[in-house]
Amino acid sequence: MGCIVSRKHQGLSQISAQPLRLKTREITITPGTFLRISQSFLYNDYKELKKIGSGAFAEVVLCEHIPTHTERAVKKIHKAGLCQQQRDPVFMLKEIQILKTLDHPNILKCYEIFEDDLKYYVATEYCSGGDLFGEILKLKKFTEAKAAEIMFQLLSALTYCHEKSVIHRDLKPENVLLLGEDGNFTVKVADFGSSCMLDKERRLHGCFGSAYYVAPEVLSNNYNEKCDIWSLGIIMYILLTGRPPYSGKDTETILNQVKVNPLVITPFKVLGLSKESVNLLQMLLSLSPSARISAREAVKHPWITLHRESHNDNSIEIVLKTLKDFTCESKLKEAVHIFLASQVISNQELNTIRKNFQLLDKDGDGKITRSELMNEYTKTMNYEEAKIIVDDILVKLDQDQDGNIDYTEFLISCYDYQRAMSHDHLEIAFKMFDTDGSGTITVDEIRQTLQDGQIAEDDAWQMLLKEADSNGDGCIDLKEFVALMQNIQNFPQQSSNKVVETAPQI
């Protein structure tokens, strides 16, 4: 059972009540990242730079990922410190098993996992902007436009999680990481150590979370996914008012206030805010979970959509053309594209792609639907023409065949192919496939590296080898690999740099 740890507070600078669990940056794993779980030695590929966080049973260090020359955060988790709820029956981290299903631009991405007898090592993207708690301390309070931008990203991530029956249970500013600087950042939901899968037939039990942000019903040990909505309501309240929701100086006092006299939003309490923002706060912080707004409803609230629409521009035409023009007939090339995009793409390029993705994701649920694509293409062509184009896009990009374009599926259509197909980047990919360092790669090594990718059929692996093995020796050397990948006649001619230059500012 989870619990809430005692900690004294002194005003806004102390609004973070830390839970009794791993107090470090957590991870998510998306289907397109080709997660590698390995017992090989971590430091073959990673060089420690500095320590950036620690907790009772874990620490986080900033590392250089040697093959890609990029910075990553590596979390070292002591196995002895994990409680039973954080493990599945074979003692893998429970959160990893849950989050393998998530693929969203506002959820922290994991690259790979290592383990030895004593620890797990989890390599994630490095969020150089710190966390939202630090931004709150710096700015005190946010404009409504900035708060709405943050809340949209959080609500979009939460909509996606809840529709996959994943409940976070510990949302707070410290668990919201930031990519970027000077106020222009992307929000990343992190720390899924308390998360769980919701059973629609049962209510949840166990007291998880942090004092200021915990929903009243959690203290009664009977709750569902709406506990996350309450936590986001408290975050929004703090962003807009610059003050904590309760006056208590210690966890026990705060929890008593949450249980006996929980926060109630009235126009008096949020004097100076717009009616729309107060309305959303009231809906997020409804005392009755059944009356509380859902994440899907909240992400479409007028206060959110007003600020989203104010930043839209005409760049959607470029995005639609990029999707229409994309083609890739080779399964190996397609797999390597996703692998490279997930491993070596720059944060600047990712930021542009995220904005383009969310420009098309009108309802903010973390996926682009057939209906959303049809609505855009029928603005410039008739229904039958649009249907042909949309059907073709889904055939090419909808790899899991769920009828939608997920974030990673969208990613491979938009990143800079010319740069990715450079000899340097292909050599990086080749060395990461060459797990035994032999100088050649085999079908088994490709399978091992892409085991969480999109190629599942056994026959497909042999087809990959036949496609690339020009001399018929049963292996693929670097020259054969580069020759195959640099045959880019099937790639779109338009450079994604044009998309970068006219990126929509969402």
Structural domain boundaries in the chain: 26-125, 132-309, 316-500
- Structure confidence at residue 302 (pLDDT): 95
Contact indicator for 408, 487 with CB cutoff of 8 Å: no
Q: Which CATH number fits domain 132-309: 3.30.450.20, 3.30.420.40, 2.120.10.60, 1.10.510.10?
A: 1.10.510.10
- Structure confidence at residue 418 (pLDDT): 60
Task: Give the class (CATH, top level) of 316-500.
Answer: mainly alpha
Contact indicator for 300, 322 with CB cutoff of 8 Å: no
Q: What pLDDT digit, counting tens, does each position of 434-491 carry?
A: 877 888 888 777 766 665 444 445 566 666 667 777 777 778 888 888 887 776 433 3
Q: What pLDDT digit, counting tens, does each position of 203-247 carry?
A: 676 667 789 999 999 998 889 999 999 999 999 999 999 999 998
Give the model's confidence band at 28: pLDDT under 50 very low, under 70 low, under 90 confident, else very high: very low
Supply the pTM of this predicted model. 0.81
Q: Which residues are catalytic?
A: 170
Q: Please check the confidence at residue 33 and state whether its pLDDT lies above 60.
A: no
Burial of residue 411 (CB within 10 Å: 0-12, 13-18, 19+) is buried
Q: Please check the confidence at residue 382 and state whether its pLDDT lies above 90.
A: yes
Q: What residue has token string 């507070």? A: 9
Question: Which among 227, 190, 175, 181 has a CA at the least distance from the CA of 206?
Answer: 227
Q: Any idea which fold 26-125 has?
A: Phosphorylase Kinase; domain 1 (3.30.200)
Lowest mean per-residue pLDDT among 11-20, 95-104, 125-134, 193-202: 11-20
- To the question of whether residue 275 is assigned a binding role by annotation, the answer is no
Q: CA Rg, the chain, in Å?
A: 23
- Structure confidence at residue 351 (pLDDT): 79
Ranked by mean pLDDT, which of 28-37, 364-373, 488-497 comes out on top?
A: 364-373
Mean per-residue pLDDT of the chain = 78
